[in-house]
């Protein structure tokens, strides 16, 4: 047990404030592809009955028109969050005809890249900008990488806990204090986030058809017809085969302070890229209209293009960029982005996973967190990549402060601390957290009990390739999700649909007769300034 963690737990225990323990706020963003009954990418547009993806608060699309994204409201009860997510799935299924939701992170059969249709958001300036940003991603990295699905976990600490921690530190729980502690959480997360692909990586195998859309030299083996896999792999999604961007390694964005993070990220969206400059930004077509290829030719088109397994976040106000929102009010919550879709859950994530994420993030928050320079951060990323590719290898070692350490040894130490945190979280309640840690400790003793191990075992034992497994699960979950709503009402969804249509129409009317070029110029002029400068 680390001394800082123990002291923090003892202090929080002494506050006797249940809100400091039970008030964690969470939200889930789950992505999944719409597919045909034959297991191919759905060629259809987003169902109009579900509203407009530009303005709907809970049902939208990510990169592609067929890549659904479901967003739950913020809640403090884990079961409420899962009920909300289940309802969004169930309601969406009503308007998908015979299409299915693909239950794996890595896509089903991918033919020609022209089968991947970029998401459409209407004719408003903001809608056109979202579409153009995605078009730029296609030219920069290819469309194949953009149809990979994941689960994002949003996490924020209740104000009561901030007050207790600030009192322990002898300061006020100001926005600066909270941001500093959140950045400490992020640094510790970077140190131990390899545990997420170890436990929850669920993409050890992929459809061979995807390889022609990837630029990677990773060695893979064949498994059945049309499937390739990594023997001890956990999350090919998070490898060079998946949702990564080699071009961003030179940005050297670290997490030692909010100011430094914002400065480096803003520099990336204002610094021209020689490579992306060769693509061009726009040209006149034969009809005299402007054809855009990307938003700009900078290292990043916008801040969202920076791929990271974790992000500091604040809800942006109208017209704000993410960094301007952070400057204005500090860090509001953390977004964990390293989760594969759980193929053994109809909604891609379970209550047990959420509890483990709670514990891991509290572990990162409550421990000492020395600064992490770029070289040290590179070590953490190498550890992460080793687990992504070979996490279930019993002989795997990781770099811990300059020493090679067996992964099993590090997991034992980590789980001892997580068990102490679980007892703290269970106080005055059931033993849900302690039982969850005990269940996941079995995965420490036997790596084949992890999601990736279970997935490969199922494929081998039943002679299934990646597509057959995905289709079996997709059909089972389609039936399971044909159920009455648990949390939301029919009226809720009808209201969101109509409001999203009305809001998009209002935006499009407002933008008629105004220049898209001028809109982009204004956006990027504001994006270069700080939040304070933009208010002037």
Helix (H, G, I), strand (E, B) or coil at 107: coil
Q: Are 329 and 314 spatial neighbours (Cβ–Cβ below 8 Å)? A: yes
**6: number of CA atoms within 13 Å, CB side?**
4
Q: Give the pLDDT of residue 119.
A: 96
Q: What 8-state DSSP symbol labels residue 289?
A: P
| Residue closest to 467 by CA, chosen among 92, 115, 111, 93 | 111
Q: Are 251 and 226 spatial neighbours (Cβ–Cβ below 8 Å)? A: no
| Residue closest to 439 by CA, chosen among 459, 456, 415 | 415
Q: Are 385 and 399 spatial neighbours (Cβ–Cβ below 8 Å)? A: no
CA dist 23 and 43 (Å) reads 43
Tell me: the pLDDT tens digits for 138-166?
Answer: 999 888 888 999 999 999 999 999 999 99
| Residue-wise DSSP of 331-371 | --EEEEEEEPP-TTSTTS--HHHHHHHHHHHHHHHHS----
Tell me: the pLDDT tens digits for 57-110?
Answer: 999 999 999 999 999 999 999 999 999 999 999 999 999 999 999 999 999 877
**Exposed, middle or buried by CB within 10 Å (0-12, 13-18, 19+), for 192?**
buried
Tell me: the pLDDT tens digits for 204-246?
Answer: 999 888 887 777 778 899 987 789 999 999 999 998 877 556 6
CA dist 301 and 269 (Å) reads 6
Buried b (16+ CB within 10 A) or exposed e, 217-247: eeebeebbeebbbbebbbbbbbbebbbbbeb
**Region for 464 from its dihedrals, namely left if φ exceeds 0, alpha if ψ lies in -120 to 50, beta otherwise:** beta
Band (536; pLDDT cuts 50, 70, 90): low
């Amino acid at each position: 047990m680390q001394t800082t963690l123990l002291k923090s737990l003892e202090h929080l225990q002494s506050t006797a404030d249940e809100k400091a323990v039970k008030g964690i706020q969470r939200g889930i963003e789950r992505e999944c592809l719409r597919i045909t009954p034959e297991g191919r990418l759905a060629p259809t547009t987003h169902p109009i009955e579900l509203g407009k993806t530009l303005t709907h608060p809970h049902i939208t699309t990510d990169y592609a028109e067929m890549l659904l994204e479901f967003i739950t409201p913020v809640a403090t009860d884990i079961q409420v969050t899962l009920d909300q997510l289940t309802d969004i799935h169930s309601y969406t299924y009503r308007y998908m005809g015979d299409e299915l939701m693909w239950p794996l992170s890595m896509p089903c059969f991918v033919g020609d890249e022209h089968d991947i249709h970029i998401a459409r958001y209407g004719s408003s300036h903001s809608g056109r900008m979202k579409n153009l940003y995605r078009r730029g991603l296609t030219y920069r990295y290819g469309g194949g990488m953009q149809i990979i699905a994941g689960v994002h976990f949003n996490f924020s600490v209740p104000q009561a806990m901030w007050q207790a921690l600030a009192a322990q530190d002898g300061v006020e729980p100001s926005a600066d204090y909270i941001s500093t502690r959140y950045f400490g959480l992020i640094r510790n997360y970077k140190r131990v986030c390899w545990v997420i692909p170890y436990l929850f990586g669920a993409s050890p195998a992929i459809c061979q058809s995807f390889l022609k859309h990837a630029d990677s030299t990773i060695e893979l083996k064949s498994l059945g017809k049309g499937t390739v896999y990594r023997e001890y792999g956990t999350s090919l999604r998070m490898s060079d085969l998946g949702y990564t961007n080699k071009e961003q390694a030179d940005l050297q964005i670290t997490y030692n302070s909010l100011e430094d993070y914002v400065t480096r990220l803003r520099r990336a969206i204002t610094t021209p890229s020689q490579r992306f400059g060769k693509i061009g930004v726009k040209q006149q077509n034969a009809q005299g209209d402007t054809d855009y290829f990307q938003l700009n030719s900078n290292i990043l088109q916008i801040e969202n293009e920076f791929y990271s397994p974790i992000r500091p976040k604040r809800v942006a106000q109208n017209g704000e960029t993410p960094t301007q929102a952070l400057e204005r009010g500090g860090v509001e919550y953390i977004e964990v982005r390293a989760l594969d879709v759980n193929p053994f859950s109809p909604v891609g994530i379970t209550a047990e996973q959420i509890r483990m994420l709670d514990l891991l993030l509290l572990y990162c928050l409550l421990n000492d967190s020395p600064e992490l320079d770029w070289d040290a951060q590179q070590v953490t990323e190498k550890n992460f990549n080793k687990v992504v590719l070979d996490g279930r290898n019993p002989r795997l070692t990781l770099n811990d402060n300059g020493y090679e350490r067996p992964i099993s040894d590090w997991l034992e130490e980590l789980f001892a601390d997580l068990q102490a945190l679980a007892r703290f979280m269970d106080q005055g309640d059931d033993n849900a957290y302690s039982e969850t840690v005990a269940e996941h400790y079995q995965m420490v003793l036997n790596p084949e009990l992890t999601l990736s191990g279970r997935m490969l075992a199922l494929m081998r034992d039943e002679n299934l390739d990646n597509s057959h497994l995905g289709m079996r699960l997709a059909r089972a979950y389609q039936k399971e999700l044909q159920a009455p709503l648990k949390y939301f009402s029919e009226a809720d969804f009808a209201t969101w649909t109509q409001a999203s249509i009305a809001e998009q129409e209002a935006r499009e009317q407002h933008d008629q007769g105004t220049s898209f070029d001028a809109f982009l110029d204004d956006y990027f002029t504001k994006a270069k300034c700080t939040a304070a400068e933009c208010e002037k």
